[in-house]
Structure 1
Amino acid sequence: MRTLLLAAVAALAILPAAATQAQTATTAPLIERAKLFGNPSRARGLVSPDGKHLAWIAPRDGVMNLWVAPRGDLAKAKPLTDEKTRPIRSYFWSPDSGSLLFVNDKGGDENFLLYGVDIATGTQRTLTPFEKTRAEILGVSRKVPDRILVGVNNRDPRWHDVYSLDLKSGALKLLIKNEKYGGFVADEDLVPRLATIERPDGGSDYFRIVDGKIEDKPVVSYGLDDSLTTSALGFTTDGKTLYWLDSRGRDTAALVAQDVASGQTKIIAQDAKADIGQVLADPKTGLVQAYGVNYLRNTWTVVDPAVKGDLDFLSQQLKGDIYVTGRTDADDLWTVAVDPVTASAATYLYDRKAKTVEKLFVARPELEGAPLQPMTPVEIKARDGLTLVSYLTLPPDADANKDGKADKPVPMVLLVHGGPWARDAYGYNGYHQWLANRGYAVLSVNYRASTGFGKNFTNAGNLEWAGKMHDDLIDAVGWAVKAGVTTQKQTAIMGGSYGGYATLVGLTYTPDAFACGVDIVGPSNLETLLKTIPPYWEAGKQQFYKRMGDPTTPAGVALLKDRSPVYRASAITKPLLIGQGANDPRVNQAESDQIVAAMEAKKIPVTYVLFPDEGHGFARPVNNIAFNAVAEQFLKGCLGGRSEPIGGALKPSTAQVKAGAAFTPGLAEALAAK
């Protein structure tokens, strides 16, 4: 299922007493916001399939664009695209190494179109030239270098028809007219082999596709319990083996190989605590060579001895968590990303034959030497015994020896991940580093409903929005107080999407638990949220209903209303800051408008910042920096940490303060200057 869903002034009399006391400031240098949230110098380096070129994303006139260079001479790098406003955030090589392909939307509307740019000529084409359409990549194969499979919903916004796209001519050939299927699985010949339908119970049925026709009888079926932990991964190159992530008959998702001819299955890997995560497969055969398990942090296990020496060598040479991001057709060159956590990520080129690693670039070289703090994985027990895998970052003055244990209590920010069917993980985190540098402990909690820890943990969140999911967050704060990380009433709650919803829940359902809250694109009314989800989420609608509350039944409507913060706005007594994108298709602007209107009707202070050119989160760095500049002052007024002044951060942004500029220190002055 697609992810759903990343100050007061003293006269207001809603500022907690603890926040009026100046906090002990760290002596570590202040890290500028722009160094943490501005454009990286380079990102997402990938070697071409033929090994002749390297590509990456880097700024061009202040906007992230695609660049390419000969592998042996990076000084000859040239920009290939010329996006003026919306950054390019991801891309991939065409199988023939002749072009780079990427998707982008307009203003955050998530109508992603597919584009291709020729690396030799720089000619760019729109490969899905439609309006109000969302293109999806359904299949890319090294065996078929001249075409790919794409899904396009221009005929019916609910369903993606399957097309074969000729990369040379741009011609689209219809393969399957889709009236009801939520997804497709193709083999390495780019032949669709499986189609999926969501069942009324929120599970899925898989149907074979033979000679282009979808059979009527499902070959694989499972219910709601397995729906977020079971899925077909793909076929080996010869089409004889189909890999699955599969939790049927077990708790955590195992890696399973199925013989297509006989239907027999074999477990390749499983772990008692976490689902199998990333998989490393042979680019020639498609056979799994290694797999990752991410419980507290990611660990790799080798299946194929052919890569054992490579992974051992890389772990010896490179310090940090290692991820293979690209491999050539000859499999002689790999691009490898390394996350050292307390430094910016770096990208290397690994030559398997020569056994050498060449550093290509560091994503944020301006952070070299900055006082970045370690992240510590912790296991927190919820009140009913569930283990909540969490991540703690402490400010320098509260963890002098960097052992991850608090030397003294400091104000804390509970940073809640979105989804909620997603997870927090170990690694470099710009928000953790920013907040820790400002003097706050930062705690991120994988509350029940988070993914990656088995189906029982995920399903424990069913119908528990503002219920046990929120209890987990409260329990985590209690753990932090007991561990000496912070003290009672010195914690702010902050997050985006579901994390924004959790913020609103925190200030309405448990109004005394937090000192203040920062809600970014969070829903306030679950009933209206489900009425306005994008049409292309039709295939996942039953899962939302079964996991949140069914708006087609009286009991479901009652539950959704009961768990909607907008109806409890009058309970808010602590400062609240809201950030919203006007074009958000997942959590419409109306979700923020509703809670703001409810608060203003009760004369409850709230600061509301709207970005007219953003969607579900802030993709443009100037907007992200602007909102974080406001949030920094807001948190300082609430918790007493330190801050970098807003200064001119709002000027290049599109930020519109719709309410409460006077309630965040320095905001009114910054608006006047803008």
Structure 2
Amino acid sequence: MRSPFGLVIGLCVLAGAALAIERLPIEHFAREPETSRARLSPDGKHLAFLREHNGRTKLHVLEIDADKIYRIDVGEAALASGARKDVDAAEWVGDRRLLVYTSVWDRFRYGIAAMNLDGSQVRAISGAEDETEYLHEGMRLYADEVIHRFEDKDHHVLMLDRHHNRPGRADRPDVIKMCASDGSYSVEVKNPGNVSRWGVDADGVVRLGILAEDDKSGAMYRDSEKAPWRTILPLEDRDGELWPVGFDPVNNAVLMAALTPEKRWTAYRLDPASGQLGEPLLSHPEYDILLPSRTPRFDGMSLSGPIYSRSKSALLGMKFVSDAPRVKWFDREFATYQAAIDKTLPNTVNLLVDVSRDGNRQLWCGFSDQDPGTYYLLDRSRKMFKALGPRMNWIKPAQMAPMLAIKYTARDGLVIHGFLTVPIGHAAKGLPLVVMPHGGPWVRDLWGFDPEIQLLANRGYAVLQMNYRGSPGYGEELFRKARREIGRKIQDDIEDATRWAIAAGVADPQRIAIYGSSYGGYSALFALGHSGGLYRCGISMAGVTDWLEIFDDRKSDPAAKAANRHWRREIGDPDEDRAFLASISPVNFADQIVAPVLIIQGKEDRTVPPEQARLMIKALEKAGRPPQSIFLAGQGHGLSTAKARLQMMTAVVEFLEKNLGPGVK
């Protein structure tokens, strides 16, 4: 697979006669993928995937050998005022039965339903999919994390019940056993009150619990379903909270995530008899092998974690992300498959997605920074490897821009990683630049195909992304250095990236814009108010503008209790830190923003309410510099329809061309 890694000192390789960039229709970048979030059935005979149809994202099922497709209609959102209901994902719980995750208001979870592959025998499992007046134990069940699939005749699964809208703490979940045939469930393991995470073995027995109390962590364990629990790691202060990765039946060991001496997260074997950690399964001096917070994903597929085989009852390998997604195989057979597929598809990162129960059929996905990806089927018995479905077959990789991994040193000496996308055919020198800080802030940007970044590059703009402090994947030190640094050192990292691009000669210092979504939208507004001389203009989509107001909005939401505790710890306490939170809120320094601003907001956003955008617009108008603004009907925190994305992308391109000037040709 091709490596994207290249420091700026190597960017001169792009120099040469510039080729004219063919301006592609914006629709190319706004369209939904034709095949997304594909998953192989346990018997290997069917492929479940998502595809847009008549303005909605619907579940489709391909009968592979017959080349027949079922399209599933999940109906209307009766308990959400008739809002459009989309399918977010689906996973198999049997050869012919699936769990289907639905959403409204652009990825706002509606519920989970179980159904056969033809859409029949629908049963409500969780959330508002139970549209009757009957509520489990008097209150509706909201559980959407499956931690084990039994694949038995009644399609049982183990799920985490985080007590949403019910008594109990979200970070102290119970384990429930759900029957996906009829929707009934029972409590499998009741949380004693101090377990934050559970570990399940290959047979579906809950055998490990991670103990957590304040900053202390430990572990309890049992040898079997009938055996008593015992403490194997006492509660004590540790470097980061432990969490279970899986079980290694061959070595009779628990796989546990912990920090290496270099403060990088990886998997260790834990001897349950002695409580001793062995050597790390895999480690890297610069990157985490596992991530303590949100798992990185491509098209719904996890890019980090162990790869198990039920047929072999063994750990096959580990997925991780360095400069790009990687796999380390421990199993020679699968290492051979990887080598053969990489030889067949040399220009993409090729990852295993699913394996059939008997191990005969495998689903793979190949993608890159310039290629949106294609799903492939490997059939061992037929010695066949074929494409099942490209994600966006109208995109030509040769017309897309390469994404180069870069790193720079922040003003306090911290090394920050990021990505630079340069318009195709141009050297990384003196370019109009769009600085794009990611959202979160406790997430990260990844190497891979991004339609929005490719649109900007196609319009002649270089794009700079940075994984500022707080971005997971680069070690515990960088992650922890973000605590209470919103509007402070996180913002310094973003500004330092901009100045790095100027000093390296990548950017035309007179033609730099800043553009972000969610927390990135907040960062864009903050930068315009505090580093305004760097940026000609800025764009904020669904950005926070008033921290005190958004804290106030969320305090009465029972579903946001755990998130509110996290925000208070990581951002600031609205009771004790009011002056600080007010000082870093863009509405309070709108008079310092002199560059043109575009504000984009979904009218149905439940994460950053539209009132945040209205407050900013009002503050800028009061300052005598009214912004351009767009409110998108029916859209939430992201943009779930091609029509909305087309409207947004068109507005962004027109705004940049007017205020930053046209991109390179």
TM-score, normalization: structure 2? 0.83
| Secondary structure at 1:275 match in 2 | coil
Distance 2:603 2:221 in 1: 41
Listed one character per residue, the Cα deviations across residues 358-392 of structure 1 (whole Å, up to 9, x for unaligned) are 11121111113662111111122222222221111
Q: Which amino acid letter does the alignment assign opposite residue 536 of structure 1? A: A
Q: Are positions 1:47 and 2:60 aligned together? A: no
TM-aligned CA distance change 1:337 to 1:134, over 3 Å? same
- From 379, 392, 406, the equivalent of 2:420 is 392
- From 533, 551, 561, the equivalent of 1:530 is 551
| Secondary structure at 2:181 match in 1 | coil
Distance 1:493 1:216 in 2: 53
Deviation at 1:439, TM superposition (A): 1.1
- From 348, 351, 355, the equivalent of 1:327 is 355
Q: Which amino acid letter does the alignment assign opposite residue 532 of structure 2? A: P
Q: Is the 1:578–1:608 contact (alpha carbons within 8 Å) kept by the matching residues of 2?
A: yes
Distance 2:375 2:473 in 1: 26
Listed one character per residue, the Cα deviations across residues 410-461 of structure 1 (whole Å, up to 9, x for unaligned) are 2111111111111112111212210001110011111111110000111122
1:140 matched to which residue of 2?
Answer: 148
Distance 1:106 1:600 in 2: 33
| Secondary structure at 2:401 match in 1 | coil
Q: Is the 1:237–1:284 contact (alpha carbons within 8 Å) kept by the matching residues of 2?
A: no
Q: Is the 1:58–1:66 contact (alpha carbons within 8 Å) kept by the matching residues of 2?
A: yes
1:188 matched to which residue of 2?
Answer: 202
Q: Is the 1:110–1:134 contact (alpha carbons within 8 Å) kept by the matching residues of 2?
A: no
Q: Is the 1:237–1:285 contact (alpha carbons within 8 Å) kept by the matching residues of 2?
A: no
Q: Which amino acid letter does the alignment assign opposite residue 264 of structure 2? A: T
1:106 matched to which residue of 2?
Answer: 104
- From 109, 121, 124, the equivalent of 2:122 is 124
Q: Is the 1:292–1:300 contact (alpha carbons within 8 Å) kept by the matching residues of 2?
A: yes
1:606 matched to which residue of 2?
Answer: 627
User: Which shows bigger deviation, 253-262 or 81-90?
Assistant: 81-90
Distance 1:214 1:111 in 2: 37
TM-aligned CA distance change 1:188 to 1:439, over 3 Å? same
2:113 matched to which residue of 1?
Answer: 115
Deviation at 1:38, TM superposition (A): 1.1
TM-aligned CA distance change 1:212 to 1:601, over 3 Å? farther
TM-aligned CA distance change 1:620 to 1:196, over 3 Å? farther
1:4 matched to which residue of 2?
Answer: none
Distance 1:180 1:592 in 2: 40
| Unaligned stretches of 5+ residues in structure 1 | 1-24, 400-405, 644-674
- From 434, 437, 444, the equivalent of 2:465 is 444
Distance 1:524 1:223 in 2: 37
Distance 1:482 1:194 in 2: 51
Deviation at 1:127, TM superposition (A): 1.8
Q: Is the 2:596–2:659 contact (alpha carbons within 8 Å) kept by the matching residues of 1?
A: yes
Deviation at 1:574, TM superposition (A): 1.0
Residues 341-420 of structure 1 mapped to structure 2, 5 A cutoff: 341-368=369-396, 371-396=399-424, 398-399=426-427, 406=428, 408-420=429-441
| Secondary structure at 1:626 match in 2 | helix
| Secondary structure at 2:637 match in 1 | coil
Listed one character per residue, the Cα deviations across residues 67-118 of structure 1 (whole Å, up to 9, x for unaligned) are 11222122x1121235674432321111x21212121222147344111220
TM-aligned CA distance change 1:458 to 1:68, over 3 Å? same
Q: Is the 2:511–2:660 contact (alpha carbons within 8 Å) kept by the matching residues of 1?
A: yes
Listed one character per residue, the Cα deviations across residues 36-80 of structure 1 (whole Å, up to 9, x for unaligned) are 121211122222111122222123334221111222122x11212
TM-aligned CA distance change 1:557 to 1:133, over 3 Å? farther
2:311 matched to which residue of 1?
Answer: 284
Listed one character per residue, the Cα deviations across residues 491-519 of structure 1 (whole Å, up to 9, x for unaligned) are 11111121111111111222222111111
Distance 2:583 2:240 in 1: 27
2:518 matched to which residue of 1?
Answer: 497
Q: Is the 1:235–1:286 contact (alpha carbons within 8 Å) kept by the matching residues of 2?
A: no
2:21 matched to which residue of 1?
Answer: 28
Q: Which amino acid letter does the alignment assign opposite residue 141 of structure 1? A: R
- From 160, 163, 166, the equivalent of 1:155 is 166
Q: Which amino acid letter does the alignment assign opposite residue 106 of structure 1? A: V
1:623 matched to which residue of 2?
Answer: 644
| Secondary structure at 2:281 match in 1 | strand
2:58 matched to which residue of 1?
Answer: 65
1:580 matched to which residue of 2?
Answer: 601
Q: Are positions 1:295 and 2:322 aligned together? A: yes
Q: Which amino acid letter does the alignment assign opposite residue 57 of structure 2? A: M
User: Which shows bigger deviation, 203-212 or 191-200?
Assistant: 203-212
Q: Are positions 1:245 and 2:257 aligned together? A: yes
Distance 2:57 2:249 in 1: 34
- From 296, 299, 312, the equivalent of 2:339 is 312
Q: Which amino acid letter does the alignment assign opposite residue 421 of structure 2? A: T
| Secondary structure at 1:448 match in 2 | coil
Q: Which amino acid letter does the alignment assign opposite residue 172 of structure 1? A: Y
TM-aligned CA distance change 1:36 to 1:166, over 3 Å? same
Deviation at 1:286, TM superposition (A): 5.4
RMSD: 3.0
Distance 1:371 1:73 in 2: 34
Distance 2:370 2:43 in 1: 34
TM-aligned CA distance change 1:172 to 1:142, over 3 Å? closer
Aligned residues: 605
1:90 matched to which residue of 2?
Answer: 89
Distance 1:604 1:573 in 2: 7
Q: Which amino acid letter does the alignment assign opposite residue 404 of structure 2? A: T
Deviation at 1:329, TM superposition (A): 0.8
Distance 1:207 1:505 in 2: 45
Q: Is the 1:112–1:133 contact (alpha carbons within 8 Å) kept by the matching residues of 2?
A: no
Q: Are positions 1:80 and 2:72 aligned together? A: yes
Q: Is the 2:537–2:659 contact (alpha carbons within 8 Å) kept by the matching residues of 1?
A: yes
| Secondary structure at 1:466 match in 2 | coil
Distance 2:388 2:286 in 1: 36
Q: Which amino acid letter does the alignment assign opposite residue 314 of structure 1? A: I
Q: Is the 1:415–1:444 contact (alpha carbons within 8 Å) kept by the matching residues of 2?
A: yes
TM-aligned CA distance change 1:624 to 1:205, over 3 Å? farther
TM-aligned CA distance change 1:286 to 1:252, over 3 Å? farther
Distance 2:27 2:244 in 1: 41
| Secondary structure at 2:420 match in 1 | strand
Q: Which amino acid letter does the alignment assign opposite residue 53 of structure 1? A: H
TM-aligned CA distance change 1:117 to 1:222, over 3 Å? farther
User: Which shows bigger deviation, 453-462 or 259-268?
Assistant: 259-268
2:187 matched to which residue of 1?
Answer: 174
Q: Which amino acid letter does the alignment assign opposite residue 346 of structure 1? A: T
1:259 matched to which residue of 2?
Answer: 271
- From 458, 468, 479, the equivalent of 1:458 is 479
TM-aligned CA distance change 1:28 to 1:164, over 3 Å? same
- Percent identity over the alignment is 24
| Secondary structure at 1:616 match in 2 | coil
Q: Which amino acid letter does the alignment assign opposite residue 573 of structure 2? A: D
Q: Which amino acid letter does the alignment assign opposite residue 475 of structure 1? A: D
Distance 1:239 1:184 in 2: 20
Q: Are positions 1:548 and 2:548 aligned together? A: no
Distance 1:170 1:280 in 2: 29
| Secondary structure at 2:108 match in 1 | coil
Distance 1:361 1:382 in 2: 43
Listed one character per residue, the Cα deviations across residues 269-304 of structure 1 (whole Å, up to 9, x for unaligned) are 111100004232223355332223422223322222
2:507 matched to which residue of 1?
Answer: 486
